[in-house]
A = this chain, B = another copy of it.
Amino acid sequence: MLEVSGLRKVYEGRGVEALRDLTFRVDTGELVCVVGPSGCGKTTLLRCVAGLLRPTAGSVRVAGVPVTGPPPRMAVVFQEYGRSLFPWMTVRQNVELPLKEKKVPRGRREELVGGSLAAVGLADAADAHPWQLSGGMQQRVAIARAVAYEPQVLLMDEPFAAVDAQTRADLEDLILTLWRDLGMTTLFVTHDIDEAVYLGRRVVVLSSSPTVVLEDLKIDLPPERDQLTTRSLPRFADLRGHLYAQIQRARGDR
């Protein structure tokens, strides 16, 4: 579904080589997590995949088609969640807008908007404006918007950074459920190694700059996951430890 090959990105202004050479693929309906040190180029990668940034070299293909602009039926949750919400719209309108664009009929739209807002715990705040919400609430609005959109490909950039531990666990399970139900191909950037292991079927570890794929790790945990049991599996701890060491290696290089 998603093929990244030889991807390289140099930001002209400062002459920063954000990505040197990335190659990996995500199959249809797969959930892959991306981890890497701060500033290694995860956001850059996501923007290239989303067709928002033109790569310096290499290519990205979605469903076999080279990406030149944002592909259809793709949803993105941006790291800068605050800026990705339209301040002139209420929460409900923000979530509803892409659905209107997709020409989802009214009834179904209301169902989707209501459902996704309830799922992220914001049913009460539907008529507030984004700037009347706390940071975590804003981030959840952005997630609700992506979820309601029912995308084929879902890109998320540290989507749970601003919420508390318990909410985070709930949202992780929400994503897992939706991913299973809708079969979305998902690329998930996170800093939380536990989260990467818990959610991902595979975890791509990026090195620090000059950025390459350090490891493409298969998560061989049982497909059915559960916050308590999965996290307490010995294999979970193994994988976690391994990834931790990898990231430390990634950072140590610089």
Contact surface of A with B, Cβ cutoff 8 Å: 11, 13-14, 16, 35-39, 41-43, 79-80, 82-83, 121, 128, 132-137, 140, 158, 161-168, 191-193, 244, 247-248, 251
Contact = CB atoms under 8 A, between A and B. Distances in A.
B164 A161 contact: no
A36 B164 contact: yes
B132 A165 contact: no
B38 A251 contact: no
Contact of A37 (B35, B36, B164): B164
Contacts of A38: 121, 134-137, 140, 162-164, 167
A33 B137 CA distance: 21
B165 A192 contact: yes
Nearest to A16: B132
B132 A39 contact: no
A105 to B, nearest CB: 30
A137 B158 CA distance: 14
A137 B43 CA distance: 12
A86 to B, nearest CB: 16
A233 to B, nearest CB: 18
A135 B80 contact: yes
Contacts of A158: 135, 162
A11 B163 contact: no
Contacts of A35: 164
A76 to B, nearest CB: 14
Given A82-B80, A82-B82, A161-B161, A37 B135 contact: no
13 contacts: A14-B128, A37-B166, A37-B167, A38-B137, A38-B140, A38-B162, A39-B136, A42-B134, A79-B162, A158-B162, A162-B191, A164-B251, A166-B247
Given A37-B167, A165-B191, 9 more contacts: A13-B132, A14-B128, A38-B137, A38-B162, A38-B167, A161-B162, A163-B191, A164-B191, A166-B244
Contacts of A128: 14
A161 B247 CA distance: 17
A191 B168 CA distance: 9
A87 to B, nearest CB: 12
Contact of A39 (B13, B39, B133, B165): B133
Nearest to A140: B38
A206 to B, nearest CB: 10
A11 B36 CA distance: 39
